[in-house]
Amino acid sequence: MSDIAVQIEHLSKMYRLGVINNRSLHKDIQTWIALKRGKEDPNSRIGENKYAGDKDHFWALKDISFDVKKGDRIGIIGKNGAGKSTLLKILSRITAPTEGSVKIKGKIASLLEVGTGFHAELTGRENIYLNGAILGMKKRQVTEKMDSIIEFSGIEHHIDTPVKRYSSGMYVRLAFAVAAHLDSDILIADEVLAVGDAEFQKKALGKMQDLSTHEGRTVFFVSHNMGMIKNLCNFGVILDKGELKHNGDMKNTIEKYIMQQESLLQKSLLEIDSRQGDGILRFKKIEFIDNNNNIRDTFETGEELIIKVYFDYSTAFEKCLASRIDIGINDLFNTRISWLSTAVFVDGINYKNNYVSFRVKRLLLMEGTYNFNLFCETNFGIADHILNVGRLNVVLTDFFGTGRGTTFQHQGYLVTDFQLE
């Protein structure tokens, strides 16, 4: 169809673990010729379990198919290792698929990693010309856009300095300005934008939306920030362990993704692998308790709430000179709303009962659903850090006795309105 910018059909990508390609030049050439001719790789494994993987193989993507229309802004979401970056690398033609095909109409500008596409010895200005040449533009065309690129990047004073002396933030500013202003039909941006400051992130998101709305460019965007994804994108894709779980309207995609996390929240926290830390303390459960000692997941505005966090710890933890436990409170788009911390209590914490309990005297949160993160730090470093460990629903009540529901215009009250049990 004429309005299709990218067509992805049965796309799969397999990596070999611990070895390089097919172990022999002869097989590498066989594979290359087969893929060039659009035929099946003679060295790939066949059968119903071909995507199961083994100790030598890892499928980063598994049989993915979907179409993208011109001017769409695609948000790709999923946990680390879901295959998001691999998909973008295939779209950018950095790596080739093992199976399937990708049909792309137009030129692509990619922003995948800090410094990608730049020559370290060249100046910022020279790299702009280099990137333009890669896109097939003439020097005159690049020169016409030079001033707008430099102005958008905000690094005018350093544009004639070799980029090897740039900070990561300057790299991102210039790389995004180049990708957004040069002659491309499709813009691909990975999480590299997270390196930039908040002001530039906002500026970049506005530019991507403008490119899509007014210039008809297609945008692919990867981020763990659901708020950024929701504000920018109109079409969403969920990847999980290389598989396509959902694609469609962005709002519905985010809701679907949140629903998929429910199974994770039901697990004992000790079973969760996606955590950071040295493990000398490990969180194992979080409970939301009312003042009648009932465990609930729904509370009313203004109600008393006890958050009880259970953990195990080793003898190494007992030797710590200092430690703290934090609870991060986020909305469903992973935007931080408030937090609780034992660090505000100078007398320290009693860990002997293997739990710590926070009593929130009045729950001053707006109506909605909130996710919780757990974090423990000692003088040795991070002990444990887990995201999305629990979910709390808040409903509005007539807290002030006005005859209508309460709406709070400010957030962050919880940080001062609690005590440690």
DSSP tag of 40:
P
- Residue 238: other Cβ atoms inside 10 A: 21
DSSP result, 316-385 = HHHT-S-EEEEEEEEETT--EEEEEEGGG-TT----TTSEEEEEESS----SEEEEEEEEEEETTEEEEE
297 Cβ contact partners less than 8 Å away, ≥ 6 residues apart? 288, 391, 392, 393
pLDDT score of 9? 93
Percent of the chain with pLDDT over 90: 23
348: left (phi over 0), alpha (psi -120 to 50) or beta: left
pLDDT of 231 > 50? The answer is yes
- Tokens representing 128? 């702009």
User: What distance in Å separates the CA atoms of residue 22 and residue 28, rounded to the nearest whole number?
Assistant: 6
Alpha-carbon distance 343 to 417, whole Å?
14
Cα 300 to Cα 231: distance, rounded to the nearest angstrom: 29
Q: Flag whether pLDDT at 183 surpasses 50.
A: yes
* pLDDT-based confidence at residue 162 (cuts at 50, 70, 90): very high
Residue 181 carries which DSSP code?
H
Helices (H), 239-314: 250-260, 262-266
pLDDT score, position 36: 66
Q: Which stretch, 30-39, 95-104, 196-205, has highest mean pLDDT?
A: 95-104
pTM over 0.85: no
Residue type for 332, please? L
CA 288 to chain centre: 27
Per residue in 213-229, pLDDT (tens digit) is 888 889 999 887 777 78
User: Over 90: is that where the pLDDT of 96 sits?
Assistant: no
Per-residue pLDDT tens digits for 26-65:
666 777 677 667 666 666 654 445 555 556 678 889 999 9
What pLDDT is attached to residue 407? 40
Of residues 153 and 191, which shows the higher confidence score? 153
pLDDT tens column, 309-352: 999 999 888 888 888 899 999 887 778 888 888 887 655 567 77
**What sign does the dihedral 144-149-155-161 (CA atoms) show?**
negative
- Cβ(327)–Cβ(372) under 8 Å? yes
State the CB neighbour count (10 A cutoff) for residue 379: 9
pLDDT at residue 24 is higher than 70: no
* DSSP code at position 277: S
Residue type, 11: L
pLDDT of residue 54: 58
Report the alpha-carbon distance of residue 269 to residue 285 in Å, rounded: 6
- E-strand ranges in 90-217 read 99-104, 108-111, 186-189
Q: Is the pLDDT of residue 413 over 50?
A: no
- Counting beta carbons within 10 angstroms of the beta carbon of residue 327, is it exposed (0 to 12), middle (13 to 18) or buried (19 or more)? buried
Grade residue 411 by pLDDT with cuts at 50, 70 and 90: very low
Distance, in Å, from the CA atom of 28 to the CA atom of 26, rounded to the nearest integer, reads 6
Q: Amino acid identity of 199?
A: E
Count the neighbouring beta carbons within 10 Å of the beta carbon of residue 26. Answer: 10
Q: Residue 309 is inside which H or E element, if any?
A: strand 305-313
Across the chain, mean pLDDT equals: 80
Average pLDDT over residues 180-192: 82
Residues paired with 189 in a beta bridge: 111, 221
Q: How far is CA 150 from CA 127, 138, 247, in A?
A: 12, 18, 36
Go through the domains of the chain in sequence order and give each one's CATH number. Answer: 70-260 (3.40.50.300), 267-420 (2.70.50.60)
Say what the pLDDT of residue 255 is. Answer: 76
The pair of structure tokens assigned to 41 is: 């790789």
Higher pLDDT among residues 128 and 262, named by residue: 128
Separation of alpha carbons 395 and 108, rounded Å: 46
Task: Identify the DSSP state of 162.
Answer: B
